[in-house]
Structure 1
Amino acid sequence: MSVDPQQRPGSLTDEEARALDAHWRAANYLSVGQIYLMANPLLTEPLRPEHVKPRLLGHWGTSPGLNLVYTHLNRLIRSRDLEALCVWGPGHGGPAVVANSWLEGSYTQTYPDVTRDAAGMARLFRQFSFPGGVPSHVAPETPGSIHEGGELGYALSHAYGAAFDNPGLLVACVIGDGEAETGPLAASWHSNKFLDPVHDGAVLPVLHLNGYKIANPTVLSRLPESELDDLLKGYGHEPIHVTGDEPAAVHRAMAHAMDTAADRIAGIQRAAREDGATGRPRWPVIVLRTPKGWTGPAEVDGLPVEGTWRAHQVPLSAVRDNPEHLRQLEEWLRSYRPRELFDEHGAPRPDVLACVPDGARRLGSTPHANGGLLVRELPLPSLERYAVPVDKPGATLHEPTRVLGDLLENVMRKTADRRDFRLVGPDETASNRLQAVYAASGKAWQAGTLEVDEHLDRHGRVMEILSEHTCQGWLEGYLLTGRHGLFSCYEAFVHIVDSMVNQHIKWLRVTRRLPWRAPIASLNYLLTSHVWRQDHNGFSHQDPGFVDHILNKSPEVVRVYLPPDANTLLSVADHALRSKDYVNVVVAGKQPCFDWLTMEQARAHCARGAGVWDWAGTESGEREPDVVLAAAGDVPTQEVLAAAQLLRDHLPELAVRVVNVVDIARLLPSGEHPHGMTDFEYDGLFTPDKPVVFAYHGYPWLIHRLAYRRTGHRHLHVRGYKEIGTTTTPFDMVVRNDLDRYRLVMDVIDRVPGLAVRAAAVRQEMEDTRLRHHAYIREHGVDLPEVADWSWEG
């Protein structure tokens, strides 16, 4: 079927309307079949209990509305030859999206054993929510998807992420009315203030109001239409309403809404791209009101179902045991008139497929939903160009993230024409010392401006909004559709996206097992303004626990790096930005930090992930070390080196080994993580029986958890953040948490056999210095001169 684009919007012929209804009915039939049936897919014989699955798992309530949207998106794409993608927000819309993918042929193209005939339909039905089958929601296994069903709150930000720098793409986004109640979704409505109609694609939100969540009414569905319009207009949208429960009328209204929205979008883009319009446009939004569980059983066991919360999941729950439920199910399935929809072999009839686009225009086959097919290698410069000179360790200081900012400016400049790299963060780019990027690209902004504003750019690719959820959603959508990016965030507040990164890690883990999903660029975090240098903001800004959260997740996906200086940060960033299918977390400071390694040394150290800094220790090749001082993180590294220097001065006979860890996963056994060390490697580095005093950036128990199976674990003593913080001096933060150099020296004396007696005076001096510190900062407000002016003298 082809609709003349010059037709008045929504002016369907009777034949077109019948064909759209046939497609919709076929999708509804397939959706119900997936939830209930494991045999007899075409109802060629009366339905019997053994044709029904023993466990009914799935969700019917949202499916008919999603099927309606899919049907009409098909028509719009085909009639206008559009390049489109759809983000399916409702949590359990799996039956609908899978059904439509099978109808259009994308599913069979992806999974050739699920053929478009009766045998394939039977397999399609049986596999749904069945052991060894596919999930009940839209998942990585679903062709055409970039959004995990059940990630309530993120659909719209994912859609905008997909649209950024995709000028020819229309991204439809179905938002369930339960999802619309979440905070992340509420913030993501503001994404239209960042959408550039010249260089970006368009997002068409479809707010699907069917009235209920699992058991309760939804807020937006109960608002008067005028109040809802005010809300959506306040967000910067022009609402188009489609309301009803009579299919023929709804089809005509939906076609009219889709055409009207497409015309408005085309007009906005034409005005910006051809006429030079610079005003912020008001984009269309479709408000679709249909009953929950539309076309399903009106009543079950004397209780209303269609249009109520009872339609949310499985309306008929006892089909195998209750003959009346079995009768109702068969009546329900036959109400779609399957013989009109599928031929005797089970293939969809031509009328059903009349609205379906061809090839890659099909929603289930768009390469934008399989971004690895589109991703290009990122043009990264030589690190030597940005490396800081290091004539000897600890002689100079640099702000590591400022050094990285210079490199990112180069990346932003080199991708100016291809537009496939973005830097996102919640209002912290300059605060995190990355402002060099503004020389290559300003901050995306479509709202009003004032003369005092700086670096705002209608075409910018630096993205800032004070919503970590929205930043995360934008970047995920951008990466999933084949581009690159970096998320810069204060360490303490990245926790806001804990659940989002969890879902992205799960997505990547599953896609690694799907050969048809091509690898995408990694999701890269730069966590800075970290716990040890939030002495000015105080306790609320001090939390290093995101690393713990990440390392609980799939080991083949997650990577955590703690570079100790500027050159190691450059090396780690280069690796992370080149990588694919990972979540890389990089924790690095923005304050002046000592330069320890040359670029060549930094590369080698980062490649090892953990290694001995022989220049910092006092062990010789003729004897084993008496103690190992280990560090992970920039501030812990400085404290360990200061402790090593104190030990060299006060206990020169002590053989001290200094170990630095960049890649935290190296501490895991090799069988638990791809980066893990073998026991042989670990014992060679940390020794099997010598005391190890480990200064760690985060919560100390993480190191114990990672190393608990090692031979020398009982000799391992970890110092780190103990949830003690306040507004204070930088050094007082480490003292309060017993991570300071003097405490580390005391730990060595307490743990090396024989030192407790021989070095009692040294230990007392260390304790006295800590006490003097407390008195000094309360009088002077700054750290002790021997701390503030300390430098490495190795």
Structure 2
Amino acid sequence: MGTIVTMTTTQTIDAYWRAANYLSVGQIYLLDNPLLTEPLRPEHVKPRLLGHWGTTPGLNFCFAHLNRVIGERAQDMIYIAGPGHGGPAAVAHAWLEGSYSEKYPEVSRDADGMRRLFRQFSFPGGIPSHVAPETPGSIHEGGELGYALAHAYGAAFDNPRLVVACVIGDGEAETGPLATSWHSNKLLDPQRDGVVLPILHLNGYKIANPALLSRIPETELLRLMEGYGYRPHVVGPSHEEMAATLDEVFDQIAAYKDGLAGRLPMIILRTPKGWTGPREVDGLPVEGTWRAHQVPLSGVRDNPEHLALLEEWMRSYRPQELFDADGRPMPAVLRAVPEGPLRMSDSPHANGGELLAPLALPDFREYAVQVKAPAAQSSEPTRVLGTFLRDVIAANPHTFRLMGPDETASNRLQAVFETTTRAWNAAVEQTDEHLAPGGRVMEVLSEHLCQGWLEGYLLTGRHGLFNCYEAFIHIIDAMFNQHAKWLQAAKRIPWRRPVASLNYLLSSHVWRQDHNGFSHQDPGFLDIVVNKKAEVVRVYLPPDANTLLSVGDHCLRSRDYVNVVVAGKQPVLDLFTMDEAIAHCTRGLGILPWASTDAGEEPDVVLACAGDVPTLETLAAAAILREHLPQLKVRVINVVDLMRLQPPSEHPHGMPDAEFDTLFTTGKPIIFNFHGYPWLIHRLTYRRHGHANLHVRGYKEEGTTTTPFDMAMLNDIDRYHLVMDVIDRVPGLGATQAHLRQRMSDERLRARAHTREHGEDVPAISEWTWA
């Protein structure tokens, strides 16, 4: 049972809270005079006042009380600050706990360090205003609202001793991803997983409007939380009430872990917006209103009344009781601070690379498809990869999870169910399959949740993979953006240890939507990904099963990247033996000698391709050219690693110009058949010497529910159109090969007419092989 909360305990909590509030206000406002040892003057104040005060005192309130629980119960705990713009609170917390000065010795825990702490916040050359990677203890910046609770649950999975205290702002509670995230408790296993303690912080207002959940009747709010499956506890702005409630809550958590309680608790914390700040400014109410959201006193340098209000505000925390003459926190402030890694700002779970262990990976070569001749037989690449992932899961039962929005089987990865189930802690009926607590496959029909879980899981030191339909990965564009920015920033922070890469497997892709239509056809996630810094992103388009195995193994071993792998689930031609696949993926791109006719000579044309269906059509076009224009020297190049197309100055994987020129030539036509939007290839290669000769075919927003070859024809990536492109672009062919060009056009018409009459592609096309 919890410790009885005494007046001395609440006084200690209050001292810590006041100290954190003082430090938070100082970060927003002050350049100098950190201890107010002299009257505040305009030059002590920053010229640009940036930051968010409104949520900060509530966050400090939570930190102060959680510290007490950690110390008394020796509880492993991290926090997620959903109101990430409450950055001053998280920084103040880390500084008071001492971990900030350990990570940044120049920001010492004294008056000089306090001055640096204040000056750096939201200041050129300093630190961001959010709970950013630079903040010890953070795994969630909160730059875009909606993902706090998903991150918290991701951190809790497979962390049985961990409690994740997740503070959810009432503005964030209005977002769709957060509303869905409440359901994560149905996939939590009391024995294998940790616990998430949601703290819904209702301070009444967003930037300019009331918060919905703060205005509905409390009985309705309680029923909502109970309907989500929680045991809600309502707390007001009282130390005594918060302390007693936390003791009750952690007793309930212990009962839940012991199997004595089926529901986890959560807290609804009601405090005023901008609590303890100015109550009125310029005759208008501030505390408890939307005016407290950002900077309550905006004209401090120029308005003596505002300057006086700021000094009164800061002195109201009685800093002389909190810091000694040298600026060090008083013993009374630090009495409840946990020790060592129990400090939330020093938890290894919040710097997951410290806990990361390499995956035990089976030898991917043992799953290889046997290839006797190139492009003579077919396999389903993702089905083959599924057997590899099955054994990855078996070998790593506590450190690897497969995420996906109800599409694991649809994407042909169902072999994983031979060794695991879907995580599920809700009701199970007789007709259900593969549902059980502790399952390694996480499925729910929300891409936001899958992404958030995986991010939280990776950032706390584990591994995983997110499989998704290609068109609908766009749903998490903004989440990917936030994670990529986190990785980029973290790479530059020496104490942040590398974490496992975020791996996407995109299947059911644009070119094979046999049962779906235009809405399911969009390869544009690649364009979004390539916008990010080269040090963070990688894009792979393996054209067959063996190259997918090689790429998959490589991505699971990598660190600090976002790896995007696009691979089909439908049968595609097997192009490479496993040894050839490894060599081809290691190079990232290369000539297919058996498909080319330029050996030892300069080619007349280069046919390049990236993606499984574009590669198939390119090979078929090469075969037509070989038959009808045997004198034409054709070089066929397949690209697996898209980043190889950039120069080395733009991406670490970039191919040197001399090597690129040798492969693609500088003066010959290049017909590039691409999986995605054509302009992405132009964007990656615009600095190359032969770019003026490059013509790219790809998806151009033409699609419907149709056959695979008709889909290719709709976007002009089909074999016949590629042959026409060659005739149009190789000097001399236009005048001599008009008959062949017309024949190719007629073949397109015949193929389309066949689909309209029979509902399927011409067998000679659908069953085509190189042999």
What TM bracket, shorter-length normalisation?
A: over 0.9
Q: What pairs with 1:717-736 in structure 2 (closer than 5 Å)?
A: 717-736=695-714
Aligned to 2:501: 522
Partner of 1:256: 244
User: What is the CA–CA distance in structure 2 between the aligned matches of 1:570 and 1:308, rounded to whole Å?
Assistant: 57
Q: 1:38-57 alignment to 2 at 5 Å?
A: 38-57=31-50
Select which of 469, 484, 491 maps to 1:490: 469
Task: Check if 1:481 corresponds to 2:468.
Answer: no
Distance 1:576 1:19 in 2: 49
Asked if residue 360 in structure 1 is aligned to residue 341 in structure 2, the reply is yes
Matched, 1:512 2:498: no
The answer as to whether partners of 1:535 and 1:726 remain within 8 angstroms in 2 is no
Q: Which aligned pairs between 1:632-643 and structure 2 lie closer than 5 A?
A: 632-643=610-621
- SS of the counterpart of 2:252? helix
CA drift at 1:789: 2.0
1:502-560: CA deviations, max 9, x gaps?
A: 01000000111011000000000000000000132010110000000000111110000
- 1:675 equivalent to 2:653? Answer yes
State the alpha-carbon separation in 2 of the partners of residues 292 and 14 from structure 1: 26
Q: Does 1:430 align with 2:409?
A: yes
Per the TM alignment, residue 620 of structure 1 is displaced from its structure 2 partner at its CA by: 2.4
User: Once the 2 structures are TM-superposed, how far is the Cα of residue 461 of structure 1 from its aligned partner?
Assistant: 1.1
Partner of 1:776: 754
Partner of 2:52: 59
State whether structure 2 residue 313 is matched by structure 1 residue 332: yes
Structure-1 residue corresponding to 2:597: 618
- Confirm or deny: 8 A CA contact 2:84 2:140 kept in the other structure: no
Structure 1 residue 54: Cα displacement: 0.7
1:745 aligns with 2:723: yes
Structure-1 separation of matches of 2:612 and 2:486: 32
Q: Which amino acid aligns with 1:161?
A: G
CA contact (8 A) 1:545 1:698 kept: yes
Distance (whole Å) between structure 1 residues aligned to residue 599 and residue 555 of structure 2: 35
The 5-angstrom pairing of residues 36-435 of structure 1 reads 36-244=29-237, 250-271=238-259, 281-416=262-397, 419-435=398-414
Shift of 1:776: 1.0
1:34 aligns with 2:22: no
TM superposition shift of 1:91: 3.2
- Partner in structure 2 of residue 444 of structure 1: 423
**Bigger mean CA offset, 774-783 vs 558-567:** 774-783
Q: Verify the 8 A CA contact 2:529 2:537 in the aligned structure 1.
A: yes
Superposed displacement of residue 47, structure 1: 0.5
Match of 2:692 in 1: 714
Match of 1:22 among 15, 18, 32: 15
Q: When the two structures are aligned, how many residues end up with a matched partner?
A: 771
- 8 Å Cα contact 2:2/2:248 also seen in 1: no
Q: What is the alpha-carbon distance in structure 2 between the residues aligned to residue 744 and residue 410 of structure 1?
A: 41
Counterpart amino acid of 1:45? E
Residue 765 of structure 2 is aligned to residue 765 of structure 1: no
**Equivalent AA in structure 1 for residue 9 of structure 2:** E
**What whole-Å deviation, never above 9, does each CA across 1:302-335 have from its counterpart, x for those lacking one?**
0000000000000000100000000000000000
| 1:210 Cα deviation from its structure 2 partner | 0.4
**Could you report, residue by residue, the CA deviation over 1:403-454 in whole angstroms, capped at 9, with x for unpaired residues?**
00000001100112xx000000000000001011111110000111110000
Contact map agreement 2:2 2:250 (CA 8 A) in 1:
no
Write out aligned runs for 1:502-581 (5 A).
502-581=481-560
Output one character per residue of 1:360-400: Cα deviation in whole Å (capped at 9) or x when no partner.
00010000000000000011111221001111101211100
Q: 3-state DSSP class of the match of 1:351?
A: helix
What aligned pairs does 1:583-594 form with structure 2 within 5 A after superposition?
A: 583-594=562-573
Q: CA deviation at 1:149?
A: 2.5
Letter in 2 for 1:163: A
Counterparts of 2:761 and 2:217, CA distance in 1? 61
Distance apart, 1:785 and its partner CA: 2.1
Q: Does residue 687 of structure 1 match 2:665? A: yes
Question: Which residue identity lines up with residue 367 of structure 1 in the other structure?
Answer: P
Letter in 1 for 2:248: T
Letter matched to residue 136 of structure 2: P
Separation (CA, whole Å) in 1 of partners of 2:590 and 2:197: 52
Q: Structure 2: 5+ residue runs without aligned partners?
A: none
Distance 1:455 1:91 in 2: 37
| Corresponding letter in the other structure for 2:159 | N
Q: Deviations over 1:188-227 (max 9, x none)?
A: 0000000000100000000000011110111101111000
Moved more, 704-713 or 332-341: 704-713
What one-letter code is carried by the residue in structure 2 that aligns with 1:488? Answer: N
Displacement of 1:708 in angstroms is 1.1
Q: How far did residue 358 of structure 1 move?
A: 0.4
Aligned partner of residue 364 in structure 1, secondary structure: helix
- Conserved 8 A contact 1:89-1:151: no
1:271 is paired with a residue whose SS is coil
Q: CA deviation at 1:143?
A: 0.1
Q: What root-mean-square deviation, in Å, do the aligned CA atoms of Structure 1 and Structure 2 show?
A: 0.8
1:157 positional shift: 0.3
Alignment deviations for residues 705-754 of structure 1 (CA, whole Å, 9 cap, x no partner): 11111111111111000100001111100000000000000000000000
CA contact (8 A) 1:689 1:715 kept: yes
Asked if 1 retains the 8 angstrom alpha-carbon contact of 2:2 and 2:251, the reply is no
AA in 2 matched with 1:747: D
Inter-partner Cα distance in structure 2 for 1:633 and 1:33: 54
Q: Is the 8 A contact 1:93 1:149 kept in 2?
A: no
Residue 12 of structure 1 and its aligned partner are, at CA, apart by 1.9
Equivalent in the alignment of 1:464: 443
- The answer to whether the 8 A contact 1:694-1:717 is kept is yes
C-alpha distance in structure 2 between counterparts of 1:145 and 1:45, whole Å:
35
Is this contact kept in 1: 2:323–2:330, CA < 8 A?
A: yes
**Shift of residue 6 of structure 1?**
5.0
C-alpha distance after superposition, 1:610-662 (max 9, x if no partner): 111111111120x2000000000000000000000000000000000000000
Q: Equivalents in 2 of 1:444, 1:594: separation in Å?
A: 34
* CA–CA distance in structure 2, aligned partners of residues 749 and 778 of structure 1: 28
Task: Please tell me the residue identity of whatever aligns with 2:296.
Answer: P
When structure 1 is superposed on structure 2, of 675-684 and 493-502 the one drifting more is 675-684
The answer for the alignment partner of 2:675 in structure 1 is 697
Residues in 2 aligned to 1:236 and 1:149: alpha-carbon distance in whole angstroms: 25
Aligned 8 A contact 2:122 2:128 in 1 = yes
Shift, 1:678, TM fit: 1.7
> Could you state the TM-score of these two structures normalised by the residue count of structure 2?
0.99
Runs of 4+ in structure 1 off by over 4 angstroms are none
Alpha carbons 2:2, 2:247 under 8 Å: kept: no
Counterpart in the other structure of 1:247? none
Which amino acid letter does the alignment assign opposite residue 251 of structure 2?
D
Q: Give secondary structure in 1 for the equivalent of 2:331.
A: coil
Letter paired with 1:774: R
Change beyond 3 A, Cα 1:656–1:499: same
Give distance in 2, aligned partners of 1:41 and 1:515: 28
Instruction: Give the secondary-structure state (helix, strand or coil) at the position aligned to 1:372.
Output: helix
